[in-house]
Structure 1
Amino acid sequence: MDYIFEWFECLLLYEIPKCFLSFVHTELAFFHALVQSTARPRSVHINCGGEDIKIKNSFGKITYQADNSKTMAVTNHHQENWGISNTGDFTDDAYVDDTFIISTSLRLSKDSPHLYKTARRSALSLVYYAFCLENGAYNVKLHFMEIQFSEREVYSRIGRRIFDVYVQGKLFLRDFNIKEEANGTLKPVVKELKANVTDHLLEIRLYWAGKGTALIPNRGNYGPLISAISLCHSVLITITLLAVGINARRRCLKDSSTRKRDLRAEGLQTVCFTWRQLQDATNNFDQANKLGEGGFGSVFKGELSDGTIIAVKQLSSKSCQGNREFVNEIGLISGLNHPNLVKLYGCCVEKNHLMLVYEYMENNSLALVLSGK
């Protein structure tokens, strides 16, 4: 491969003026790096028109790379493994230097992070391409928010931005209107699709076909606009989900072990029922077996395999009762022994479930008898 580059450079020395050599050497070095690269990325995240920003989701923190370089009417520049190409000039506006990056200082909703504070736009065609990717299926997310039109101004409300979106050369969104899809301005909308990469390249093209308004609220307010782009290999998503599942499982087992250890530390010889035992006893917590519901959760009637009738108190996930409170309740109840008080048979601390197993009261509680209900 190296001799090809040497031959090509020698050919350039004789047939291209020296003023081009610096540019040629730069492009050759970049192309050579692409050819020699072996570690191909499986994800790309771009904050269109903005700085580097970290966004937290259920999988952790994701860094969206900055995309704030100056763009002209005809621009083609690249980063480490992605680039943009812009074509088009806002010839009908009153400005000599067009603005292809816009931002808003307005307060966005809580569901709209700083990712939507900026956006990149184009007068005709805006292309994002990710190169040197690992081949395979990718999950592509396109983030949009209309930040140029305002609902607060009557005249601006009638502005309509309409454009088309192509992914890998195929039409994905026709006559796409951000404000219409989001049901208003300053509201995020995310379009998601699966795209297949076969030649290590993924292309996203946003194209204005002359539709919509062009003079509202001022001349030059039209063309495609995008806030952020995220693409991730399906294998990477699967691995991430698997890791999250394993971590959740470990955390669940750890919580269960912590509760059992606390029970032993309190010197409580309480029977620990399994989740399967109580699930079978209550017929999978059938609503027909529900006895009532209190502040800490629901109570179900059940029958153990030996025929013992029980009442299972299932702690609600909305309850603030934690491990210590749960153990304290067991310690308090198990220490009481009176003919007029229900007996605590045991508990369950499996699968992130907190349940207490009581003696079943055939005639309900004393409070109901006294109240005449």
Structure 2
Amino acid sequence: MWFLEADIALRLLGGCLLWAVLSMLARKLWSQASLNRFLVILDLALIAYVSEWLAVFYAVYTVVTYGIAHLAGRGGSDTVRRVRFVLCCLLCAVPFFYLRLLDLFPELPLLFALTGLAYNMLKAVDAVYYVYYTGERLDFLHYANYMLFFPVLTAGPILRYRDFSRSLARPESVNGESLTRDCKRLIRGYFKKVVLLVLVGAVLSRLAALDPRPWISLAACLVSYLLLWLDMSGYADIAIAMGGFLGLKVPENFKSPLKAASFTQFWRNWHVSLTDWIREHIFVVLNGKRLNRFQGAFMGFGTMMVMGLWHGFSLTFVLDGLMNGSLLAIEHLLGITTVKRGANRYYVWFRRCIVTVVFAFTTIFYTLDQAQLAAVLRGFVTI
């Protein structure tokens, strides 16, 4: 990832620290709100250093999707507004669908920038939802900063327009205490990505190369889980820390997933911003917030299928969505989405172990190449 390259990382950190100093001065001599008008310049400058084409693409995409979101808020009959709302969402997603089409037809020309496209499409659609359901117009500078906010340009956590706009209007105070907190989190994130990820990756490769045995394959799954968590949570730590340097809140993306005693709880704690986005923007809108057992099962299954296809149009992601979606649906149908308070602690730990092992098994389809994957899967049936 580009943010791990030393020169780019130094410029990103330099930009964040420069803004932190300006924020402290602005609070005393000027105003934070006035300073925030220039944040979009910092965003574009840092993105342009990574890639001028990337900066141009996202500048154009921001302007175009701002117009689309404005269109979603226009008046008319309920039917006209609903149809226009759906069309606006689809228009925001055109580059994303074209990107997924490239997975199936790689000979097609590359028309759009790839970096962070899936995440930024979700942000643009969220803005369309905001305008449609609130009836409010978007502030262009808020929207531009929202779309171009460089700490989360390439990956999660996924921002919501209403939350980001609120944070931008009332940024947190940047002081010595907040800088110390965010520096510690930044170091933790880079330590996960640069040091631990390499070490754990080497361990996983060694396990995949051993003679296939059930216990070796199980160990490979658990190490694969750790690898994926280090990769994703490490980036989230970096993004949250950089947002803190700017006085802006970036939401948490992981909330102790190992403590989840059901798959329903697990997906509320793992990649939280993505699962919440899919559930709230698709299935809650379709079914309403009060769901019976069968609707909950459908929503859980559908959420996992959409999440799988969001990652890519391939058999691996389809099977992953089917497996995780089926598990959520079964939990809803059986009424075991949660564990009651006061339940036997051994039972709770047993449920946690089941969730951990099953999810660990699914991670090997993301972390291993075909030869390693075949060896690990063969190990489960080798006596």
TM-score clears 0.5? no
* Structure with the higher helix share, 1 or 2: 2
Q: TM-score, normalised by structure 1?
A: 0.21
Q: Return the structure number with greater relative CO, CA threshold 8 A, min gap 6.
A: 2
**TM-score normalised to the size of structure 2?**
0.20
